[in-house]
Amino acid sequence: MNNEEDKKKPPVNYEHTARLRIVKDVKEQKDGKKPRVNDLKEKKSIKEDTSVTASRKPMKMSSIYRKKYTLLAVIVCAVFILAYQFIKVKDVDFTALRSNISKNIDTSELYIGNEQDLRKLYGINQNEIENYVSFAPKSNMDANEILVVKCNSEYSDIVMKKVQGRVDSQSNSFKNYAPDQYKIISSSELKKKGDYIYFVSAKDVNAVDNIIKKSYK
């Protein structure tokens, strides 16, 4: 009986069944249904392989960049250290400067100034400067004077304006009645270098300037 029923059943078309299954899977994916477990495992495996490959390359690249940046940093530091030796502002040896001016420049009409002279002649206060050398004129009719000061950083511009005021005042005083002294003050030198301010009013400005340059240590 069973044999006769089996003969009546149509033969199974496995190729057709496989096609239906594939079409069904595609349809399920389009309809938003969850894919099969095997498909998930395959996709996960592919993603893992891709992530491993992708993660390795940045590690190699970052290592290369790290070495390059380290080498670049070392080079920059070396260049900065070498350049600093040439661009840094050296300090003036004020003791040597005072002595060298006294020995090599005619200071017979000058005297060594103190803090009171700084306030009287220039309006400079003691808290505005760190160190100084001052050769002030013994007479108000003399335009010769020398001032070298190292300012506290926050006061350097203020001190510069005060010394400029002294230069302007002396120029106006000598202009009308002391032409020889006016010539000296007109040829004077006032300059600022870092926190240092130099004011040289003398017959031989270059001689004083050379002494100042040699007093750096």
Distance, first Cα to last Cα, the chain:
124
> Is residue 14's pLDDT more than 50?
no
pLDDT, residue 188, reads 96
Q: What is the pLDDT of residues 130-172, one digit of tens each?
A: 999 999 999 999 999 999 999 999 999 999 999 999 999 999 9
113 with 207, same domain: the answer is: yes
pLDDT, residue 36, reads 53
What mean pLDDT do residues 16-20 have? Answer: 47
When pLDDT is cut at 50, 70 and 90, the band that residue 21 belongs to is low
Does residue 136 contact residue 121 with C-beta atoms inside 8 Å? yes
> Is residue 104's pLDDT more than 60?
yes
> Is residue 83's pLDDT more than 60?
no
pLDDT, residue 208, reads 96
pLDDT, residue 65, reads 67
DSSP line for the chain: -HHHHHHHSPPP-HHHHHHHHHHHHHHHHHTTPPPPHHHHHHHHHHHHHHHHHHHHHHHHHHHHHHHHHHHHHHHHHHHHHHHHHHHSPPPB-HHHHHHHHHHHS--TTEEE--HHHIIIII---GGGEEEEEEEEESSTT---EEEEEEE-GGGHHHHHHHHHHHHHHHHHHHHHH-HHHHHHHHT-EEEEETTEEEEEESS-HHHHHHHHHHTB-
69 with 103, same domain: the answer is: no
What mean pLDDT do residues 31-38 have? Answer: 51
How far apart, in whole angstroms, are the C-alpha atoms of residue 3 and residue 5? 5
When pLDDT is cut at 50, 70 and 90, the band that residue 126 belongs to is very high
Q: What is the pLDDT of residues 182-201, one digit of tens each?
A: 999 999 999 999 999 999 99
Domain that holds residue 5: 1-88
Judged by average pLDDT, the poorest of 3-12, 108-117, 172-181 is 3-12
What mean pLDDT do residues 7-21 have? Answer: 49
pLDDT, residue 76, reads 77
Domain count, the chain: 2
Q: Which of 88, 116, 131 is the last residue of a domain?
A: 88
When pLDDT is cut at 50, 70 and 90, the band that residue 90 belongs to is confident
81 with 158, same domain: the answer is: no
6 with 80, same domain: the answer is: yes
Does residue 144 contact residue 184 with C-beta atoms inside 8 Å? yes
Does residue 129 contact residue 159 with C-beta atoms inside 8 Å? yes
Q: What is the pLDDT of residues 43-57, one digit of tens each?
A: 555 455 555 454 555
pTM summary value: 0.61
Q: Which of 31, 53, 88 is the last residue of a domain?
A: 88
106 with 64, same domain: the answer is: no
112 with 62, same domain: the answer is: no
